Amino acid sequence: MGRKDVKTTTRDVRTGSIGWMLKRLASRLDGDMNARLAPLGLELTSFAVMMTVLEHSPLSQVAIADLLGMPAYKVSRALDHLERQGFVARSPDPASRRAHVIAPTGAGVAIAPDLYAVVGAVNARLAEGLSAEEKALLITLLTRMVAAQAARDEA
């Protein structure tokens, strides 16, 4: 052993680090997403809220904030936009006069396919160099990582 084995950690952060690569991939995502959402008149925050409304409606604003891990004031603003654009509606909650029931309008449901198309396009581009099996594997691994993260949050 000429040299002591100090390779406990990779010596080049950029190539070996999961976190570094994750961040790099995610940061490009933002630009890509925004570019594709702009024609639809949406920004990233509104998009995230809209997806949540489409998939979990009817729900309250705190519920949206919880699901997305997003502060309440952002949800409020995003809904302002989305309501002005006619994609969602805030209606009074029969169960509580301080809460709103958020639901997509007809127009909101109508653009859903476009939104899913954006998601599909972005994901396809992300996994461009991977085979179908590799892509499935990646999803499995990422899912486990997200789940572990969520589990830690509760503890």
Partner DNA sequence: TATTGTTATACTCTATAACTATA
Partner DNA sequence: TATAGTTATAGAGTATAACAATA
Contact by Cβ (8 Å): 102, 58: yes
Nearest to a second copy of 29, 40 (CB atom):
29
Q: Is 31 in the site for a second copy (CB under 8 A)?
A: no
Report d(CA 72, CA 2) in Å as an integer.
59
Using the rule CB under 7 A, which residue among 16, 41, 71, 120 binds DNA?
A: 71
Report d(CA 104, CA 127) in Å as an integer.
30
Q: Is 55 in the site for a second copy (CB under 8 A)?
A: yes
Smallest separation (angstroms) from DNA to the CB of 62: 4
Residues 77-106 that bind DNA (CB under 7 A): 77, 79-80, 90, 93, 96-100
Binding string to DNA for residues 31 to 70, with x set by CB under 7 A, is what? Answer: ------------x-x--------------xxxx-------
Nearest to DNA of 81, 135 (CB atom):
81
Task: Give the count of residues interacting with DNA (CB under 7 A).
Answer: 22
Residues that bind a second copy (CB under 8 A): 8-9, 11-29, 33, 51, 55, 67, 116-117, 119-120, 122-123, 126-130, 134-135, 137-139, 141-149
